[in-house]
Chains A and B, each alone.
Chain A
Amino acid sequence: MTTFTSPVLSYTLLSPILILLGGALIGVLVEAFVSKALRPVVQLTLSLGTLLLALMQLWQIRGEQSLTAAMGSLVIDGPAVLIQGSILIIAIISIFLIADTEHFTPLAAALPGSDEEREAAQAGNQVTEVYPLTLFAVSGMMIFPIASDLIMLFVALEVLSLPLYLMAGLSRKRRLASQESALKYFLLGSFASAFFLFGAAYLYGFSGSITFSGIRESIIGGSGNDVLLLIGMAFLTIGLLFKVGAVPFHSWSPDVYQGAPTPITAFMAAATKVAAFGAMLRIYYTVFANAEWSWMPVISAIAIVSMILGSLVAISQRDVKRMLAYSSIAHAGFLLSGIIALNKAGLDATIFYLFAYGVATVGGFAVVTLVRDSSGEVTDLNRWKGLGKRSPFAASAFALFLLAFAGIPLTSGFIGKFSIFSAAYENGATAVVITGVLSSAIAAFFYIRVIVLMFFTDAVEDGTAVEVPSILTRATIVISAVITVALGVYPAPLLDFITDLAIFIR
């Protein structure tokens, strides 16, 4: 009879994640036991408090390193803390947006346009479930980049994805489009998960181990069957590339970005990208680093195609959310060049870029939530004409975020682009860097076109109004803008902080 040894967990190191999961569970209980009128306030306070507490706890453990925090399934090190911190900060500013329940359907279970839905709306119902869902997604995102075996990685992937599938379908307006996007996201996401799992199985077949260190040793030892390794790597990569929305696994992102409620789009676009790239960094920098010859050309090609396709297709978009979706595809290409760099500078640069881009993305979508007419958000770019005159606040903030996406100096985007490209160049990825610079030029074209629309074109009178931002939305925009400018003008403290911390342990 085998004896059962109880697992040893270092609770301090895991506390940020535990706090989040705890907060999420309490959130579910709140749904059940707190009266309808109080729920929004309670949930908002609870979620914010949980996120802040987790962030504080994360700050406490920032210098720690441990391979055995959860019996070898999770690894805590500098990059982990940085990525988790970015996710938490992005989540906090996204929560402000989510708090504006105007965006969500009153009753998710009701058919679009049915009587039940109307009744729910009249009764003033709100989907406060969205708060615990967000917290669950965040905890999945927190685990994803620190997982150090394949099972944990897969569980984290599902924990972060499932709430997002749900939330994508919660839009109040255009519910059919929203549900379509949720279904699309779910189906394609399931395929990606299946690929991912398939790849994991092959990697296990290759190395006989599900832990990252085991796979790594097999690669170094060169003992296993390379075919299994290649297939495993390829399928695992497909799963990851799907999450970051790189070409050719990008086709879901424009539809989902467009269909999902804008606050969810903001959260998803920013935080998922950070989490997925965090995991990719760990996997490629530690596990697959010694099989560089096999994945480097493929990832380079995907980076190049993503940058070009994202920038080119974005030009022809007429919808602001779709445009931002294609721009995020291009940004996935830029970020992949940080993976290709495969050096310390590349690691630092990618983390910086992720944070800067995530913050600017939330800010950008926050502005999108403000531009509305009587039937909801207006995302048709033609109706954004003359926004600069009607709402200088919203238009200038949006212009700032666009300039940051374009990588104009004195915004965070420029420092990010510069550092990531120089790191990639250092590793000899000249073609990627040149494509990156050229597609930045293409991308600048459509970002600037939007600025022209907002500032230099006369408004059409069609009742498009700019909502007076609520304090929370305003806070999101102001915080994002301040971070974007501060990181552009004086990035030294954060860069130094990242450089000191970002060292993988294996």
Chain B
Amino acid sequence: MLLPLAGAAIISALPKNNEKAAKQAALGTTLVVMAVTIAMAVGFQRDNVELQFVEKYAWIPSFGINFALGVDAIALVLILMSVILAPIVVLAGWDEAHGGRWSVKTFYILILVLETMMIGVFAATDLFLFYVIFEAILIPVYFLIGGYGTGERAAAAVKFLLYSLFGGLLMLASIIALYVMSGAQGGHTFDIDKLSQLQMSSTTQNLLFLGFFIAFAIKAPLWPFHTWLPDAAKSATPGTSVLLLGVLDKVGTFGMIRYCLTLFPEASKTFTPLIMILAVISIVYGAFLAIGAKDIKRLIAYTSISHFGFITLGIFAMTSQAQSGAILYMFNHGFSTAALFVVAGWMIARRGSSTIADFGGLQRVTPIMAWSFFIAGLSSLALPGLSSFVSEFLVLVGTFTRYPVHAIIATFGIVLAALYILIPVQKALHGPTTPGNENLKDLNLREKLAIAPVIAIIVVLGFYPSPLLNVINPAAKHVVSQMGFTDPAPTNGGK
């Protein structure tokens, strides 16, 4: 976990004008981190639902705070996603940092600091540590959006920061309450396992649950807490958007599983009907907004709102299938969104505009770029054979067994997805070439190298998702059984 930080230190030691060295160092660091993480992931025992690779050091003993790290399958999958995406972002956005407020060097330092925190936020097993990273992670993102973005970047960065801070402070109030209660019941602690055994009245539990849930819902973002996302995504550089939507927003859904469900099982059940409705609204509302979007980056942001609706639906459906589906969805969404944003970023950089109507006939001029976008788009609408299909299917089937109505409405989301992806694809890629687009260049070798692994993952996991599912399933089952739910009878698929 500390590797990226070391990389950031190396870059900060490099001379300011040597931009190339900074880029290479960043790429090298992220690749090494990826290799190390994958090597560790191979050693993960997938039938063990306990935390693994646990490390624990006393941090602030007088508050019972530990620097405790450890991963279960859910965290492992998300960390894998983060570390694979990081080098892709660096490679794909090779020239992104130019035109920022500060030097290229600072950009890569921020990216690497961000990567460290992303790993930390998923691996933290101490609530206090989690909160610290959860809040501190805002700072590099804030500077990445505000310093290197486009358009109304400062305003977007502030909006992002204030929304997140507000949610975070609500969570802080809940954390303080938990901490004090733990003190009354056998010693102050922030250990999640111990906190989950606290006795509390249902009113307290409901209030504390809300504190956590609103923070995560803002992060995720769930309707009606989503309004910061389109602005942030539009103003950020494509690479930052990938990390923001692909990884950081997952912290929200991850937090719902890890903290909301584990710490407040009763309250989670109380609020499930409400949350299911919010999730369905997110799915449909996000989709409609996406259909109407004129700007390609906003479009992708709106599709994400819809997708996060699916993930939340899966989490709170309380069946192991839906749960596995939701976790797998988080992983897949990371890559399909990454592909969309990365390719969209190249299109925008070449055309100098992010309005969908300005593109046209790219298929003829730049076939490889167009195909990449097309595949990413199809994955986003969950075409069978591509990765998202598996997860979306699992979520819907899992939800249907318990909440048929919600599942059916959510299915409309898929139909709408076809519209919101295919309409821009048609406008941007096919049809007559819009004047001014004739001389656009196709992808160069670096860009091909960046996009190829993403496409490969999308396709391979579409046909053969079982390696990941085998890791995820035990964890998903564990979560659901901890909540005291058993799967409704005739559902054994997905195993």
Interface residues of A (CB under 8 A from B): 348, 388-389, 403, 408-410, 414-415, 418-419, 421-422, 425-426, 433-434, 437-438, 440-441, 444-445, 448-449, 452, 455-457, 490-492, 495-496, 499
Q: Given the complex of chains A and B, what is the CA–CA distance between A113 and B377 in angstroms?
A: 73
Residue numbers in B under 8 Å from A496 (CB-CB): 61-62
**Residue pair A456, B166 in contact (C-beta under 8 Å):** no
Within 8 A of A (CB), among B165-196: 165-166, 169-170, 172-173, 176-177, 179-180, 183
B165 contacts A441, C-beta separation under 8 Å: yes
Are the C-beta atoms of A421 and B162 separated by less than 8 Å?
Answer: no
A445-B162, A456-B101, A492-B61 as given contacts; A409 in contact with B136, CB under 8 Å: yes
A456 and B176 contact, Cβ closer than 8 Å, known pairs A409-B136, A414-B132, A441-B169:
no
Rounded to whole Å, the gap between the CB of B218 and the closest CB of chain A is: 12
User: Do the beta carbons of B176 and A421 come within 8 Å of each other?
Assistant: yes
A445-B162, A448-B162, A457-B154 are contacts. A433–B60 as well, Cβ < 8 Å?
no
A499, closest chain B residue (CB): B62
Q: Please, how many angstroms separate the alpha-carbon atoms of A86 and B172 in the complex?
A: 28
Question: Which one of A388, A409, A425, A437 lies within 8 Å of B131 (CB-CB)?
Answer: A409
A425, B146: Cβ atoms closer than 8 Å: no
A343: min CB distance to chain B, Å: 11
Contact A437 B170 (CB under 8 A): yes
Closest 6 CB pairs of A and B: A456-B154, A409-B132, A409-B135, A437-B173, A495-B62, A422-B176
Give A505 to B480 CA distance when docked, in angstroms.
Answer: 53
A448 touches B161 (CB 8 A): yes
Tell me the bound Cα distance from A444 to B160 in angstroms: 13
Quick one: CB contact mask for B58-69 with A, threshold 8 Å, 1 for yes? 111111000000
**Contact (Cβ within 8 A) B61 A452:** no
Which of B61, B63, B147, B177 touches A456 (beta carbons < 8 Å)? B147
- Give chain B residues whose Cβ lies under 8 Å from the Cβ of A418: 63, 172, 176
Residues in B whose Cβ lies below 8 Å from that of A409: 131-133, 135-136
- Chain A residue numbers with a CB within 8 Å of B180 are 422, 425-426
Interface residue B333 (Cβ < 8 Å from any Cβ of A): no
What mask results when residues 147 to 158 of chain B are scored 1 for a CB within 8 Å of chain A, else 0? 100000110011
| Inter-chain contacts of B161 with A (CB < 8 A) | 448
CB-CB under 8 A from B146, the residues of chain A are 452, 455-456
Indicate with 1 or 0, residue by residue over B177-219, a CB within 8 angstroms of chain A CB atoms.
1011001000000000000000000000000000000000000
Which residues of chain B are near A441, meaning CB under 8 Å?
162, 165-166, 169
CA distance A476 to B136 in the complex (A): 25
Q: Which residues of A contact B143 (CB under 8 A)?
A: 455
26 A-B residue pairs with CB within 8 Å: A389-B101, A408-B138, A409-B131, A410-B132, A410-B136, A414-B132, A415-B60, A418-B63, A418-B172, A418-B176, A422-B63, A422-B180, A425-B176, A426-B183, A434-B173, A441-B165, A441-B166, A441-B169, A456-B101, A456-B154, A456-B157, A457-B154, A491-B60, A492-B61, A492-B62, A496-B62
B172: nearest residue on chain A (CB-CB)?
A: A437
Closest Cβ–Cβ distance, residue B167 to chain A (whole Å): 9
CB pair A438 B139 closer than 8 Å:
no
Main secondary structure of the interface of B (DSSP, over half): helix
Chain B count of residues within 8 A CB distance of the other chain: 34
Q: How far is the CA of A422 from the CA of B476 in the complex (A)?
A: 34
* Chain B residues, CB < 8 A from A422: 63, 176, 179-180
> In the complex, A495 Cα to B62 Cα: how many Å?
7
A381 → chain B closest CB, angstroms: 15
Measured in the bound complex, the distance between the Cα atoms of B133 and A414 in whole Å is 12
- Starting from the known contacts A408-B139, A414-B132, A445-B162, 19 additional A-B residue pairs (CB-CB under 8 Å) come to A389-B101, A408-B135, A408-B136, A409-B135, A415-B60, A422-B176, A426-B183, A437-B170, A438-B169, A441-B162, A444-B162, A444-B165, A444-B169, A448-B162, A452-B146, A455-B146, A456-B101, A456-B146, A490-B59
Chain A residues in 8 Å Cβ range of B172: 418, 421, 437
For B135, give the chain A residue with the smallest CB separation: A409
- CB contact between B153 and one of A410, A414, A456 (< 8 Å): that residue: A456
Distance from B151 Cβ to chain A, minimum over Cβ atoms (Å): 12
B60 contacts A495, C-beta separation under 8 Å: yes
Residues of A within 8 A of B179 (CB): 422
In the bound assembly, the distance between CA atoms of A414 and B135 in angstroms comes to 10
Closest B residue to A422 by CB, please name it.
Answer: B176
A425 with B147: CB separation less than 8 A:
no
> Cβ of A408: which chain B residues have Cβ within 8 Å of it?
135-136, 138-139
Given contacts A408-B136, A425-B176, contact A492 B157 (CB under 8 A): no
Binary contact track B110-143/A, C-beta < 8 Å → 1, others 0: 0000000000000000000001110110110001
Distance in angstroms from B186 CB to nearest chain A CB is 15
Measured in the bound complex, the distance between the Cα atoms of B60 and A491 in whole Å is 7
Q: Are A448 and B62 in contact (CB under 8 A)?
A: no
- In the bound complex, residues from chain B placing their C-beta under 8 Å from that of A403 are 139
B135 → A minimal CB distance (Å): 4
The residues of B that contact A410 with a CB separation of less than 8 Å are 132, 136
Chain A residue nearest to B177 in the complex (CB)? A425
Look across to chain A and name the residue whose beta carbon is closest to the beta carbon of B59: A492
- Could you say which residues of chain A place their CB within 8 Å of the CB of B177? 425
A418 to B101, CA, bound (A): 34
- Residues of B within 8 Å of A419, CB to CB, are 63
C-alpha gap A409/B137 in the complex (Å): 10
Closest residue on chain A to residue B171 by CB atoms: A437
- The distance from the CB of A168 to the nearest CB of chain B, in whole angstroms, is 35
